[in-house]
Each structure stands twice: as C-alpha cells, then as structure tokens.
Structure 1
Amino acid sequence: EIFQLFTASFFFVSWLYLKPNESFNSNDLGPSQYQEYIARTQANKLQIKKLHMISQEYLLPFPYLCQIYHLLNLKHLETVHNFSLNKLKIFQISHFQPTSTGGIIKFKTILDSPANPLRIWRQPIVEVDLILHTPYTVELSIPVYNHKRIIVLFNAFPLNDSEHQFFIDIYSDLEWPKPLLQIILHFASCLTLFEDLPYLRALADKNIGRLFNLSKASNHETALLFKRFVELYGSTGEATKLLKAREEN
C-alpha cells in the first residue's frame, strides 16, 4: 500500500510538473479576442482582393528552368526588355540577403530617356526588390509615386521536360481607376511576355542544365539571386527533383 501510494504521488507530481502551460491554452482567449483575430483576417483578405489587379496564365513550350533563369537574371531587363522598358539601366546592387528557401536582392534602376513612358509610374531612379520565395515563385516589387508599389508575382510550374505553366499576378495600391489600370497592366504584361519568347526559345535550344551547375554559375552581382537558386536547388540534381515532385502531386 505504501508503494502504491508512493507511485500515485510520483505520477501526480510529474503531471503537475509536465502539464502544458495554461497561458498557451486557446480556451483562455475571450470572445472579443477571437472577434479581433477574425476581423483582422477578413480585413487582410479584403485588402489583398482590393489590391489584386490582373491575372494571366500561359502554357509555354519551354523547360521550366529557362523561365527561372530568365526571371532571376537581372541583365535581361536591359537587353530582352530594351524596347518595353525604353533602355532602362541597372546601375547598383544595393542589397542581397539569402533566405532558407531563396533570397532577396535590391537593385537601383535609372530611366535615361526623359521621354520614357515609365515616368508616369515612377521616379527616374528607384530601388526595386526581386525576391525568390520558393523554387516556383518569384516576386518583383516596384516603387511608384506617392509611396505606392506595383508587385508582380510570377509562378512557374514544370509540366514535363519541355513545358511549363506560367502564372502572372499583379497587385498595386495605386489610386487610379481600376479598369484603366487593369487595361494598362494587361497590355504591359503581354508585351513583356512577347519579348520573352525569343529569349526563352534561345535558352531552350541550349543545354540549359549546365547553367544550373554551381561551378559554372556566374559570380557577377546581377546573378546573385540566380546563384542562390543554384545553391539550393540546382547544384546536385535538385532541379530535376522539382519536376518529379510536381509530377507526383
């Protein structure tokens, strides 16, 4: 009986010591706190919906890796998009930060021509953010007038060795009439994609896989984000695993 009493006491003391901290119990949250959380969530959803301008979806006959190389290669803004961006120049890489799934690069661009139509959106010199969120998602964030921004989310998903799905979503807090802004953004997005096609085709005709070899990746500062992708996903065959994972899903 003494042994049983000792055992029961031991388990009771252990339970008191190991039981979860009550401060983490969701039951302690009052109704008003839950209502506040729900209100915040709904407000965020409405805000995101309000800021969303356009969506575009394409099935492109090029390897997924061609799109990734294109999106993360800053120099293509000066070459491939020389017409649509009217000779925009990148003149400084101001920040680079690796993350667990990608990285962030900030770079300054200048509009040389006083007649550049992009001046309706932005100052002649601005700092642009390019973010690799995942091996499938890239974000381009462009500051415009009055502390507003245009954010472009690119999602590229491999379908097979020679095709990929490409999604473009554009968000903005510009206080323009939404229908007008949507027309302009649709036109701009279609124009830049049209410019991309010969470039993507040229990449597809090359051995694109060799560009994803870490030993051959460029060390130029404009290629830092692409090199980060190669470090995470392309140096030991991880790029092909992305396709297999997509096919399994």
Structure 2
Amino acid sequence: MSTSIEPKNQQTAIQRQSPADISISIAQIKNGIWMIGIPSWLFGITDRGIAAFAHGAPSPAEVLQLMMASFFFLTWLSLKPKQEEGDGGAQAVQAASELSHSFENYLHRTQARMHEMRENHLISQGYILPYPYVCQIYHLLNLKHLESIHNFSLGNLKVIQVSDVEPTAIGGRVKFQTTLDSPMNALRIWRQPIVEVDLTLLTPYTVELSIPAYNGKRITVMFNVVPIDENNHKFLIDIYSDLKWPRPILQAVLHFSACLTLVEDLPYLQKLAERNLNRLLSTSNRSSEQDTMWLYKRFVELYGADMKSVEQLPAAEEAVS
C-alpha cells in the first residue's frame, strides 16, 4: 500500500517520482485494497454463521447465505494482485534510489540484505513525508520511542536494558531487551513477554529491526529513508517473517499495524522538524550519550558533519566483521 502525505509545497517532490515508482505505488494500492477485503469477508462470514445458528438449526435460506459468503471469500482470495516472484520490495527500493544519488551509493548493500530474506517477504508500504530525512533517522534509532511514541500500539512495552552494541564501518548494531508490561498485551500472540531485539543501522538510509517470535521464528522490519530534498523524504517499510500463520491474515494484520504506528509517528516527526536540526546532529547532545541512543550517536559520528547536504554522504564501505 502506498500513501502520500503532501503539504502545499510538496508538488516538486511528487513530480520527481519516476514512472516505475508510480507503477509500483499503484500495485501496492491494489494489494492494500485486497488485504482490507480479507477481514471484511471474514467478518461477514462470522456474522452470518452466528445469525444462522443463534436460534438452533439454521434454515435453508441461512445455509445458502453462509455458503455464498464462503464462496465469494474464496473467490476474493483467488483475485490477489500479481507480484513478481521473489521481489521482496526490492523494486520499490530501486525506484526510490532515483530520488537521491547518495542513497544509490548504498543501494547494493540494502538490496543484498533484502534479497537474503525475499522468501519471507510479506508486505511493502511507501510514504512521502514532509519532514527532513534526519528526523526520521533520529526517530528510528531512538530506542525509547518504543515506550513513548508507540505506547498505545505496543501496549506499554518497556525497554529493560541495552545488552550489546557493535559498531561497523558504516553503521552499527544494538541488542536490547524489551518486556510486555501488561498480561493483556496483544503482542503476546507474536512473542514471549521478555525478548532480545536487534536494531541495525545497515547504511545511513536503511534501518533493520528484528524481533524474536515463538518457536525460533522472527519478524524483521526494513525501514528505508530516502531524502527527496532538505524538507521531504520517502519512507519505505518492508516486513518479513517466517511465522507459519495463514499468509493473507498475517499480511492484513501487519498492514494495519504498520499504518497505526505511522499515524503515531507523525506528530513526533512534526515536533522534530520544528527543532533546530543542528542540535539533533550535535555529538554533545546529552541524550545521545545514553545507551538507548547509542546507535543514533554512532550515526552522528559517521555522518553528522555531512548532514547539511544529504547529497554529500560518502560512498559505502564494507562493514567491520
């Protein structure tokens, strides 16, 4: 599903989208509509089933209605929009690279990682957001935003501690423990109450979040932040998982979850955009000295001096093993 959040001065950014980017966006919109239809049909079937058996044995008319609803649901499943085999969101990333030369310098590294996980790719979403690129990076690399900004969607999830940090030549990796504070937290259907989560700055534009699920499975989210100009960026979300849930249901849940978290992000990104961005990029910023901000501090150390022009970021180097 691809959505554009456009201020009045956004026309230039829209015009810079390539035909390939637009076609990918249309395909994602079709897929999003198809996803929305799945819970709608399931609700309809459930409603008809409850109504049919609420007063004992169902009548022939009620049985016919239930059978027709089930038939149309199966038909809807067969109408899934076609996607290229093993695409895994890589086409959207390729198209987005045309917006930023500096992003293109790191494209091979991002695509290689996405290619590794392509068999487990579930959903892609893309947005044009009217905020500076560095605001999104700051938000993604700040571990405490999981507790504050996403307090509602993550059900009072708490970050217990940072257990390990590992710098690389062009980024770094943080391992941190989180706990589900409430016994009624909906995230318990995915994971244990306490798990160790990995957050990786893969490139200056790509952040990977990997969350353990049950039975050794994982849910991995790839965030790509592509600068358009100094006040706008494209935000790409790709989610991968080897969970053995029915794929259409899992995709519908993840689409809804990704949209909800983005809605929570917007007021915070607006506040960041209203701040002095030089302060965000200052290595003397006290918040960056905390363990929960270590990965953002690493980003500032590597790239902060070049943020005055997002097109001046250096070419990619190999990560430290």
Calculate the TM-score normalised by the size of structure 1: 0.77
State the alpha-carbon separation in 2 of the partners of residues 135 and 126 from structure 1.
Answer: 26
Q: Partner residue of 1:104? A: 173
Deviations 1:206-242 (A, max 9, x none): 11221111122521110000000000000x2x12343
Displacement of 1:150: 0.3
Q: Partner residue of 2:310? A: 242
Distance change >3 Å, CA 92–CA 147, structure 1 → 2: same
Contact 2:227 2:234 survives alignment (8 Å): yes
Match status 1:140 vs 2:209: yes
Q: Partner residue of 2:137? A: 68
SS in 2 for 1:215: coil
Q: Partner residue of 2:252? A: 183
Q: Partner residue of 2:104? A: none
Distance change >3 Å, CA 186–CA 213, structure 1 → 2: same
Match status 1:153 vs 2:216: no
Task: In structure 2, give the amino acid aligned to 1:228.
Answer: R
Deviations 1:126-155 (A, max 9, x none): 000000011000000000000000000000
Deviations 1:27-79 (A, max 9, x none): xxxxxxxxxxxxxxxxx999733200000000000000100000000111000
Q: Partner residue of 1:227? A: 297
Aligned runs of 1:52-63 on 2, under 5 Å?
A: 52-63=121-132
Calculate the TM-score normalised by the size of structure 2: 0.60
State the alpha-carbon separation in 2 of the partners of residues 71 and 136 from structure 1.
Answer: 11
Contact 2:303 2:313 survives alignment (8 Å): no
Q: Partner residue of 1:50? A: 119
In terms of Rg, which structure is larger?
1
Distance change >3 Å, CA 51–CA 164, structure 1 → 2: same
Aligned partner (choices 245, 260, 276) of residue 207 of structure 1: 276
State the alpha-carbon separation in 1 of the partners of residues 114 and 132 from structure 2.
Answer: 34
Distance change >3 Å, CA 48–CA 133, structure 1 → 2: closer
Contact 1:154 1:166 survives alignment (8 Å): yes
Task: In structure 2, give the amino acid aligned to 1:84.
Answer: S
State the alpha-carbon separation in 2 of the partners of residues 189 and 195 from structure 1.
Answer: 10
Task: In structure 1, give the amino acid aligned to 2:218.
Answer: R
State the alpha-carbon separation in 1 of the partners of residues 223 and 117 from structure 2.
Answer: 16
State the alpha-carbon separation in 2 of the partners of residues 245 and 114 from structure 1.
Answer: 45
Q: Percent identity between the aligned chains?
A: 60
Distance change >3 Å, CA 206–CA 148, structure 1 → 2: same
Q: Partner residue of 1:197? A: 266
Q: Partner residue of 1:172? A: 241
State the alpha-carbon separation in 2 of the partners of residues 198 and 148 from structure 1.
Answer: 33
Structure 2 residues not aligned, in runs of 5+: 1-112, 315-321
